Amino acid sequence: MITLTATEENYLKYIYQLGEAQSGLVKTNDLAYKLEHSAASVTDMLKKLADKKLLTYTKYYGVSLTKTGLHIAKKVLRKHRLWETFLAKNLKFTWDKIHDIAEQLEHIQSDELTDKMDEYLGFPKFDPHGDPIPDKQGNISIPNVICLADAKLKKQYILQNVNDDSAIFLKYLNKIKLQLNDKIKIIDKEEFDETMEMLINDKMRITISNDAAKNMYVKSI
């Protein structure tokens, strides 16, 4: 069993997340931007991880994870999302605070701990942001969602997933009292700037910008 540093694990995690959107191929610069490191540092690390057979690296072209690399990336994500669930559900943290702490906790090395936490939490399938939690085998439940920005007028939806990248955005959701599983009815969409007017849980009327809508995912009902 190979043990990686927190840094190496983060590389694999972000490569996985960036690759998820597309074919699995990730460019040096995109990673550098995500990690907030110089492209040169990223190149260095990619070579190192390629030597360890965790990814395949082709100069000037990009990287993609090997089977082993993918497995580790999912495990890190699994730990991250299990910890987020614990922080939110059990410790009553607000969701704008859990991400940063989970970024640390995801690197704790103990499979037994991970699995006991999973059991302790009742084998949750989604974390507090609505993101799927990989199970012990790495299986992921894929929720059938669309972006709120693409939601149709007059239709009804349930808020399933929010983007957890930005604490500012999550703080904003706290402020407007919008929560996961809330019922959303699209009342109006302004043509000019795509601002949306919505009815939440059949009683609260709110207006959100297109920027905000782009960070939310809903399931139609």
Interface with a second copy includes 204 (CB under 8 A)? no
Q: Which of 48, 71, 89, 97 binds a second copy (CB under 8 A)?
A: 97
Q: How many helices (H) and strands (E) does the chain have?
A: 8, 8
Question: What is the C-alpha separation between 190 and 210, in angstroms, rounded?
Answer: 10
Sheet holding 196-200, edge to edge: 146-147, 216-220, 156-162, 183-189, 196-200, 204-208
Partner interacting with residue 176 (select from a second copy, DNA, none; CB below 5-8 Å by kind): none
Q: Which of 104, 141, 166, 201 binds a second copy (CB under 8 A)?
A: 104
Interface with a second copy includes 101 (CB under 8 A)? yes
Partner interacting with residue 89 (select from a second copy, DNA, none; CB below 5-8 Å by kind): none
Strand 156-162 versus strand 55-58 pairing type: unpaired
- What's the min distance (Å) between Cβ of 93 and a second copy? 7
Question: What is the C-alpha separation between 53 and 47, in angstroms, rounded?
Answer: 10
Q: Which of residues 110-139 bind a second copy (CB under 8 A)?
A: 110, 112-113, 116-117, 120
Question: What is the C-alpha separation between 185 and 151, in angstroms, rounded?
Answer: 10
- What's the min distance (Å) between Cβ of 36 and DNA? 6
Binding footprint of a second copy on the chain (CB under 8 A)? 87, 90-93, 97, 100-101, 104-105, 108-110, 112-113, 116-117, 120
